[in-house]
Amino acid sequence: MVMELKLLGAGRGRLGSLAGLGRSGATALALPGCLLYTRTGSAPHLTHDTLRDVRGVPGVAQLPLPAMAEIHDVLEEYKEGAAKFIGMPDTVLYCSLHDPASPCPSGYNTNKAVSLWGSSGRMELTASKFMDIQRAIQPDWFQCISDGDTVSGEAGRKRAKKSVDRSLSFLDECLQLQEKSPELRGSVMFGAIEGGDILEERLRSARETAKRPVGGFLLDGFQGCAMAKETKLKLISSVTAELPEDKPRYQDDFGPVLEGCSCYCCQRHTRAYVNHLLVTNELLAGVLLMMHNFQHYFGFFSAIRDALRDNKLDELKKLVFRQAQQM
């Protein structure tokens, strides 16, 4: 995996790519970028055929662990890994610890296990069980098990310290188990940077994790709006300064859902028709809207990269803010 970055001048940001991804090294991910969100290896509501009609699909897909853990026994018996099992053998797979689209109740992590929440309820995972599941999945990248249960404003210094201690302990155990796992020789483990909103603990987590032989880092706990923007920016800036630079870090009418949109849904169907599908609970509603949303999600990151390249990022920001105020 090679990160290539291009500085665009003072105040203009950076463009780049992650190249040499996957077992073959043939996949690249444009930066800034995003991953293809999936559930058990499938984009919600879409078949692999309909996904091909969405432009700009990234070459890296996210596999949230809760859904994959529920089919662990099947994958273990299959023995050839999740990529082939889900019909995406050429896609780079990243296995995240939690599903970003699903709530994760607080208060269930311990010194020995982390709790995940899937369709069947709560699952307790020790480091050993976690690595058993990763051996069955055989992902290209995976986030190490960690204790990120530190909601800003609710977790104090003592709880933040405990999250870092637990996460480093989990990381050490998982690294030892990975060394003994031939199925994971081609997989890259990402270490999670924890510590809530306590700067000292965030820095300790970053420094200690960077000492371990991880392939990349996950800055955990910055998603959502629980943490104040100023705090979040300060922590991210401080933490990234500690990490090595050579590792990665929707009104009824008969017009389209969005005027001028070139997606499959908007080119072939009207708002009125999509609304009818939603009212009658037709499965096709989710398919069409997911194709529309994916194309705009991927297109948004493409627009960011174009704006950086053309020194028009400030213009793009103003456009986005203006559109948001009109909604």
Phi-psi region of 310 (alpha: psi -120 to 50; beta: other; left: phi over 0): alpha
Task: Tell me which H or E stretch contains 37.
Answer: strand 36-37
Domains of the chain, with CATH numbers? 1-32 (no CATH), 34-249 (3.20.20.105), 251-327 (no CATH)
Ligand-binding site membership of 266 (annotated): yes
H helices of the chain, in order, are 48-51, 65-69, 72-78, 82-85, 127-137, 157-179, 199-211, 229-242, 264-268, 271-279, 283-309, 313-326
User: In degrees rounded to 5, what are phi and psi of residue 116?
Assistant: -115, 155
Q: Which of 26-30, 167-171, 313-317 has the highest mean pLDDT?
A: 167-171
CA atoms within 13 A on the CB side of 93: 28
Can you give the pTM of this predicted structure? 0.79
Whether the pLDDT of residue 161 is over 60: the answer is yes
Ligand-binding site membership of 144 (annotated): no
Cα three-residue angle 68-178-114, rounded to 5 degrees: 50
User: Positive or negative CA dihedral for 309, 13, 190, 44?
Assistant: negative
What strands, in cross-sheet order, belong to the sheet with 14-21? 2-7, 14-21, 27-31
* CA nearest neighbour of 202 among 223, 216, 219, 226: 219
Listed in sequence order, the residues at least 6 apart from 54 whose beta carbon sits closer than 8 Å to its beta carbon are 46, 263, 264, 291, 294, 295, 298
Tokens (6 digits) for 170: 């989990």
Whether the pLDDT of residue 251 is over 50: the answer is no
pLDDT in tens, 192-241: 999 999 999 999 999 999 999 999 999 998 876 678 888 888 999 999 99
Burial class (CB in 10 A: 0-12, 13-18, 19+), 57: middle
The greatest distance separating any two alpha carbons of the chain, rounded to the nearest whole angstrom, comes to 60
Q: What is the mean pLDDT of residues 37-66?
A: 93
Q: Work out the mean pLDDT of the chain and round it to a whole number.
A: 89
User: In degrees rounded to 5, what are phi and psi of residue 54?
Assistant: -95, 130
Tokens 């599903």 appear where? 99
Distance separating alpha carbons of residues 268 and 244, to the nearest angstrom: 48
Ligand-binding site membership of 292 (annotated): yes
Residue 139: CB atoms within 10 A of its CB come to 24
With cut-offs at 50, 70 and 90, classify the pLDDT of residue 252.
very low
